[in-house]
Amino acid sequence: MEQEVWQRRVNRERAARNEAEAFLESKSRELYLANQKLTKMADAWRYENEKNQAILDNAAEGIVTFEADGNIATFNPAAERIFGISIEAAMLRNFDELFDDIRFGDGAEIDSYVLDEAKEYCATDANGNTRVLNVALTKAESNRAISFVAVIQDRTKKRALEAQLAVAQKMESVGHLAAGIAHEINTPIQYVGDNTRFLQEAFDDLTGLLGLYEKLLFAVEQGAATDTVINEIQKSAEEIDLEFLAEEIPQATEQAINGTGRVAKIVRAMKEFSHPGTEKQVAVAINHVLETAATVSRNEWKYVAEMETDFGEDVPDVTCYVGDLNQAFLNLIVNAAHAIEKRQENEPEHKGWIRISTRRVDEQVQLIFSDNGCGMSNDTKEKIFQPFFTTKPVGQGTGQGMSMVQRFIVERHSGSISVQSQEGAGSEISILLPVIPPR
């Protein structure tokens, strides 16, 4: 009996051992397969990693990642070229320290820089040069951590070229306006000249008369006869029409002063308009900028339209790149004039008007340019901001005007533009400019 018990025990132990060995074999196989799978995954991960690294290394854009505390984690070679610092140096810095105008404070402000669209910031590179960088910042949230990815395009050269282009376009405008300006100056100069000549002749006449009066004074002092001299004086006064001169000289003087004032105003406006401007934004009276644009373009619109202005007295100074706004306003006025001119080709009796109004809307200034020109079709309205789109004949339009207006107002000043137009009736361009440009 005891032997049977022991035999059963041995059988159970043997069966248990066999099961354990089978289990071990099965686990060994599972382990092998898991190892194979892991090896494949590691290879795939390594491949992906190498691929991602190659993309990072060869990307034309700077790619920088950083953690929620701002510490830089990834800094690709393009970023090294842009900022002029090595990856090792970058890893010791916070992302905001790379830029002149990005500050995270205690880190809570990072989210405010995460925008739907890329935005331009300035950075000073290792050589002390200012770079204009277009930064698209995105937030990457995972279960483990929050990190940020910045894709950075160096727009320094592009901006420099754009600035040169803007100067060239401004000079083109100046050239285009020159004939009109010359004409504008010629009219007052002509009547200044006429009046000055009149004053010169009047002065000659009066000098002759004064000579006779001196002769009379001498005769009186000597106690000599004066009848002859008095007759000469009366005759001369009649000849030079002294009464007329007394009346006309003050008027001629006033007209000459007005004429030179008019010339001075045009020259000042042209000088302001053609000034290359500064790379920094300055606070300017926007109504004055509009007056300048209207003055320099006067010869473009005065034959086709009346200019009406309604400038709000409470409009505050706007911090802006004044050269950009000069150009944008000029383009809008000239476009309005051309639209009226086009309408007058079919309706010669049509009396054109251009109205410019300004008013304060909270922390913004609204500028409305309206005209009763030919208006735009819906198709044209959709395309007006596209570069090189124009409805004007060759030689009159390059298709840059409205595209430039959009760039100057929207991109450079964070403003907005809305267009309303009715074909055959006129157009209204409404601009909103922030008084203080956002960060």
Q: Applying CB under 8 A, which residues contact other proteins?
A: 5, 8-9, 11-17, 19-20, 23-24, 27
Least Cβ distance, residue 2 to other proteins (angstroms) = 8
Q: Report the residue number, 20 or 91, with the smaller CB distance to other proteins.
A: 20
Q: Report the residue number, 19 or 347, with the smaller CB distance to other proteins.
A: 19
Least Cβ distance, residue 5 to other proteins (angstroms) = 5
Least Cβ distance, residue 3 to other proteins (angstroms) = 12
Q: Report the residue number, 8 or 268, with the smaller CB distance to other proteins.
A: 8
Least Cβ distance, residue 86 to other proteins (angstroms) = 42
Least Cβ distance, residue 30 to other proteins (angstroms) = 10
Burial 340-369 (b: 16+ CB within 10 A, else e): bbbbbeeeeeeebbbbbbbeeeeebbbbbb
Q: Report the residue number, 20 or 171, with the smaller CB distance to other proteins.
A: 20
Least Cβ distance, residue 16 to other proteins (angstroms) = 4
Q: Report the residue number, 8 or 157, with the smaller CB distance to other proteins.
A: 8
The C-alpha atoms of residue 199 and residue 121 are separated, in whole angstroms, by 61
Let me know: does 336 contact 352? Beta carbons within 8 Å: no
Q: Report the residue number, 33 or 44, with the smaller CB distance to other proteins.
A: 33
Least Cβ distance, residue 41 to other proteins (angstroms) = 18
Least Cβ distance, residue 26 to other proteins (angstroms) = 10
Q: Report the residue number, 13 or 48, with the smaller CB distance to other proteins.
A: 13
Q: Report the residue number, 5 or 60, with the smaller CB distance to other proteins.
A: 5
Least Cβ distance, residue 79 to other proteins (angstroms) = 41
Q: Report the residue number, 5 or 108, with the smaller CB distance to other proteins.
A: 5
